[in-house]
Structure 1
């Protein structure tokens, strides 16, 4: 029997891909490597075998004489291996390792995970709260949820929801806030988090000249929301963060104006990788849950401008 240890698996995969596609570009696209790497891998296998496997044609590459049967069996072998691995996965515990932005995890995802487990009791989610920019597959995650503009390299991106910016406060503040100028007389809750920019909201409502002085600063948006719930002042928030507090009556919207942030929440998966059945199920549930939530967002004001005397 031939000693297979001298053959590299990547080399045999390159031979199989080139045999099926007939061009270096198509084979490279399938394996997510360069055409030059395909050529190098194939040459390495040919040198180990001591026989040329392909000849170049006007349209690409074709198998040389007496090699077709070997290539057919090679493809069959990879398919058998793939099917065997899939069967093994079916009997293994189904798990998703998810990296998610902390504010989204606490304010929106965790309160709704019971809905996911009712639909998919066979899937277990291992959740890591982080806002770091990561290489998903390199860090061992199946998917991630991040807040931003969708410009992460090496990922497939699914937009979850565009975010609108609007003020929120404890209900006892409402009598104190009859106009935008009344913001000068209350504590303004601020954060350095992206999207939480009071100046953007003020400018959109014609109050760019309003100089807010009484500011309480917090490190992230989750602390800002908690401060607003507890009556420390007026904060800015967005739909997925504030919806449950608004519907419970812990928070109210004192001014009926929201502003597009230009940011969204995104589901990120590694590019060039087929989604597992578990991740696909999570993605579909997430999309369905967002459809439900959009029907609840009537409590949030649409993007409109208020008028200030400033």
Structure 2
């Protein structure tokens, strides 16, 4: 039994009082008396041995300690509510996986293929969340992460999935009939904020002269850069794995070579310890490996 955690009722009262900045409004929301709210707050402050509110006459205001505690308590209660609603909605005997992944990989590659996993494993629900930076996997609530190789993942088990290579793509209307490599000089460049030197490095790798390799619009996500390229705003340097559909349909073209040096290794990152969902995670891992293999065969045959 945890002896160092306040009661859930006092935390709910505190969260409401902090959100409203007023004990009376918190009492009204929770169908309590203002006195009951005040007593719950007093018990919580006594438990923490810290004041959370400054009392100014009949008014109350969160102090810095209270503001910090309120933010974290709100996130914890929100997560608890989401998890509770999720568990209540699970069919009897079903299983679930919580996977974190990069946003564009999730929307453009992983999620469109998840139907095949569901057909093969209808009893497993896969929940996908976005994490753009590496994080501590243990006790994060996630069973695994799909992310690029990074020193921050030290202490985890990493299974290589694929090599992400960048390729220039643009709307075919921008080039017209000419698709010569030197056309890049005359097209606005689309950049990704996290990789501002990508175009300069790409030009040096392929012997292409770019007059202004650092000029052009910058976008936070590959998804945004791809949308900008489709809209005819310029040429984007994006992972080829994300634009398979557009290249096949012709809404984007890639007349320039794929970079060999601008690449990242993508992995399935798991905890070293045995997962509580080991068999479920193994099923997802096997399916993911099959999908990656099929994608590579298709890619290399085109």
State the TM bucket, normalised to the shorter chain: 0.5 to 0.7
- Displacement of 1:256 in angstroms is 3.2
Instruction: Indicate the structure (1 or 2) with the bigger Cα radius of gyration.
Output: 1
**1:292 and 2:294 equivalent?**
yes
Partner of 1:185: 186
**Which residue of structure 2 aligns with residue 216 of structure 1?**
217
Judge conservation of contact 2:200–2:213 (CA < 8 Å) in 1: no
Q: 1:132 to 1:164 in 2, by over 3 A?
A: closer
Aligned mates of 2:293, 2:194 — CA distance in 1: 26
Q: 1:156 to 1:265 in 2, by over 3 A?
A: same
1:241 alignment partner in structure 2: 242
What do the CA deviations read for 1:14-69 (whole angstroms, capped 9, x no partner)? xxxxxxxxxxxxxxxxxxxxxxxxxxxxxxxxxxxxxxxxxxxxxxxxxxxxxxxx
Distance in 2 (alpha carbons) for counterparts of 1:121 and 1:194: 39
CA contact (8 A) 2:193 2:220 kept: yes
Measure the CA separation in 2 of the matches of 1:122 and 1:196.
45
Shift of 1:153: 1.5
Query: 1:100-139 alignment to 2 at 5 Å?
Result: 100-139=101-140
Report what 2:145 is aligned to: 144
Distance, in Å, in 1 between the alignment partners of 2:202 and 2:301 is: 18
Task: Quote the residue 1:308 is aligned against.
Answer: none
Is residue 2:90 matched to residue 1:95? no
Structure 2 equivalent of residue 175 of structure 1: 176
Tell me: CA distance 1:202–1:231, structure 2 relative to 1, closer, same or farther (3 Å): same
The residue aligned with 1:161 is 162
**Structure 1 unmatched runs, 5+:** 6-90, 301-310
Separation in 2, partners of 1:97, 1:213 = 38
CA contact 1:186–1:214 (8 Å) conserved in 2: no
The number of equivalent residue pairs is: 211
In the alignment, is the contact (CA less than 8 A) between 1:181 and 1:210 conserved in 2?
no
TM-score by length of 1: 0.62
Between 154-163 and 257-266, report the one with greater CA deviation: 257-266
Question: How has the CA–CA distance of structure 1 residues 282 and 196 changed in structure 2, closer, same or farther, with 3 Å as cutoff?
Answer: farther
Partner of 1:87: none
| 2:139 aligned counterpart, secondary structure | coil
Q: Give 5+ residue unaligned stretches, structure 2.
A: 2-91
RMSD after superposition: 2.4
